[in-house]
Amino acid sequence: MTTLTFDSLNPATGVVVGSHPKQGSDTVHEAVGRAEEAARWWAGLGHAERKRRLLDYKAVIVRHLRELAELVHQETGKPVADATLELVLAITHLDWAARNAQKVLGRRRVSGGMIGANLAASLEYLPLGVVGVIGPWNYPVFTPMGSIAYALAAGNAVVFKPSELTPGVGVRLAQLFAESVPEQPVFQTVTGFGETGAFLASDPRVRKIAFTGSTATAKRVMAACAENLTPLVAECGGKDAFIVDADADLEAAADACLWGAMANAGQTCTGVERVYVVDAVYEPFMELLSRRASSIKAGEHYGPITMPGQLDIIKRHIDDATKSGRAITGGPDSVRAPFVDPVIVADVPEDSPAVREETFGPTITVRRTRDAQEALDLANASSYGLAGTIFTRNTRRAMELARAMRTGMTAINSVISFAGVPSLPFGGTGDSGFGRIHGADGLREFTRPKAISRQRFAVPGMNLTSFARGADELERLIRLVTFLHGRRKR
């Protein structure tokens, strides 16, 4: 029998980085079968031992930091320094998940309430079993690790399908895990194209799918999950807005805006794509932004566009934006495949593709607004709702705007800073998906709450859940509920 393979390429050079099997349904289902047994064993280890193993895995990753960063660099084209930063962030999350799982998920007593005063009630969050993780290529360590680390810490086994563009790093992450957990295949990687991911999503023994990628693919994965009522965490794209208010530190805002938009060649789900600047500071901000942008070059400050097909979308958005708007930095000539230099276009109509659709490239549209409220209204007028940024020196106003922003995350006077805080949940709303990775919510996402009520003693004359219940017992209950809940509070 011949096993079909596919190559992962360095997108900057076209050189083959590695060759990997295109795994079919049998192989995927076998992996899930092994994972089921591994999940039972891993869950049986308990929180303390899992924490020890996961912290050991963290140390293994740290010892292979340079090797992994080089592999991420090869497969995505991003600079080694950026790949290193990504790995460090992933390590921070792995550490947090390992250290906090017991506290967040472990068994605790909860009050039985007045009517249940004779009950001992307890709550704990138990593992689901096998979790399938379908990952993207833009942050091939940080993003899937946001699901993998939290799912493992919660006591699940993981079968990971990395993007076909970054299979090597996915394979290596699972290989390294086996150094800390050699007994059972608790974390496995399967490689292949989209259909390999589809086999994983449609296996009824997978108890949850954590997907990161496009909204369109999320819908397909959700349809596959629906067959078995498999729950899904969907981390999809975004069209994140960056708001500059009149009292903002403009130097800091321009610096953050540029990095948030152009770093990783704009291939960041929470990257800056739309910029709204209040009228009072529009001119000085644009001056600072365009001056800074003129010194940033693709291939030097950030890498190539990782997915070749994405270049067409970026080009279409730039062509459209520069026809209807005013090019401030770059333009259609900025696309020199596989690289794209920074592009900033002002006054692009809000209903154009460059403002409405995810570009996933180093491009931004900028619009002048009357005030921060108008900026917020425009920011919220998007089908996406992943994250956003607000620059203002007024903390109270910043908090008001942040809370009113219809996204899962908002950064104030910084960009994407929430992603580096492990205790904060990460995820969006609307077309950006649902469910959360990271933080306590991210741990609970990969569990089922287990509620247990134990009767400690019978309450005489209050046997309510019995066919032997008498009218006097019901009368006593009515008197009790009237006493507890019958008074109107003013």
List the one residue out of 103, 117, 122 whose CA is nearest residue 51. 103
Query: One-letter amino acid identity for 324?
Result: S
| 136 binding ligand NDP? (CB under 6 A) | yes
CB of 287 to ligand NDP, least distance (A): 31
Positive/negative CA dihedral, 299, 303, 307, 311: negative
- Selected from 9, 61, 236, 437, the binder of ligand NDP by CB under 6 A is 236
Q: Which of 220, 315, 316, 397 binds ligand NDP (CB under 6 A)?
A: 220
Q: Residues 6 or more apart from 466 whose CB is under 8 A from it?
A: none
Question: For 282-362, where are the E strands, in sequence order?
Answer: 326-329, 335-336, 339-340, 343-346
Q: Figure out which of the listed residues 212, 264, 329, 392 binds ligand NDP, where binding follows CB under 6 A.
A: 212
Asked if 273 is part of the footprint of ligand NDP (rule: CB under 6 A), the reply reads no
Q: Does 164 bind ligand NDP (CB under 6 A)?
A: yes
Neighbour-count burial of 274, counting CB atoms closer than 10 A to its CB (0-12 exposed, 13-18 middle, 19+ buried): buried
- Measure the CA–CA gap between 403 and 125, rounded to whole angstroms: 29
Active site residue 235: yes
Site for ligand NDP in 325-364 (CB under 6 A): 358, 360
Residue 250 in contact with ligand NDP, rule: CB under 6 A = no
Reply yes or no: is the peptide bond before residue 338 cis, omega within 30 of 0: yes
Nearer to ligand NDP, 171 or 289 (CB): 171
Position 140 contacts ligand NDP (CB under 6 A): no
178-195 core/surface letters (b: 16 or more CB in 10 A; e: else): bebbeebbbbbbbbbeee
Interface size with ligand NDP, residues (CB under 6 A): 29
Written as one string, the DSSP assignment of 361-423 is SSEEEEEEESSHHHHHHHHHSSSEES-EEEE-S-HHHHHHHHHHS-SS--EESSSSGGGG-TT
Given a contact cutoff of 8 angstroms between Cβ atoms, the answer to whether 31 and 190 are in contact is yes
**Interface region with ligand NDP, contact rule CB under 6 A, candidates 128-136, 176-184, 240-248, 444-452:** 128-136
Q: Would you count residue 217 as binding ligand NDP (CB under 6 A)? A: yes
Active site residue 236: no
Q: Which position among 82, 235, 240, 431 is part of the footprint of ligand NDP (CB under 6 A)?
A: 235
310 binds ligand NDP (CB under 6 A): yes
Q: Which is nearer to ligand NDP, 214 or 413 (CB)?
A: 214
By the rule CB under 6 A, 201 interacts with ligand NDP: yes
Closest approach of Cβ 484 to ligand NDP, in Å? 48
Query: Which neighbouring-strand residues pair with 302?
Result: 298
Residue 5: CB partners within 8 Å, gap ≥ 6? 19, 20, 21, 22
What's the closest the beta carbon of residue 236 comes to ligand NDP, in angstroms? 5
210 binds ligand NDP (CB under 6 A): no
404 phi, psi to nearest 5 deg: -85, -5
| Per CB under 6 A, 369 contacts ligand NDP | no
> E strands along 1-101, which residues?
5-9, 16-21
Residue 74 binds to ligand NDP (criterion: CB under 6 A):
no
The catalytically annotated residue of 235, 273, 357, 445 is 235
Q: Does 135 bind ligand NDP (CB under 6 A)?
A: yes
From residue 187, alpha-carbon distances to 57, 173, 392 in Å are: 11, 9, 44
Could you say whether residue 158 binds ligand NDP (CB under 6 A)? no
Q: Would the CA dihedral through 45, 51, 57, 63 be positive or negative? A: negative
Rule CB under 6 A: say whether 137 interacts with ligand NDP: yes
Active-site residues, by number, are 235, 269
- Interface contacts to ligand NDP, rule CB under 6 A: 134-138, 143, 161, 163-165, 193-194, 197-198, 201, 212-214, 217, 220-221, 235-237, 269, 307, 310, 358, 360
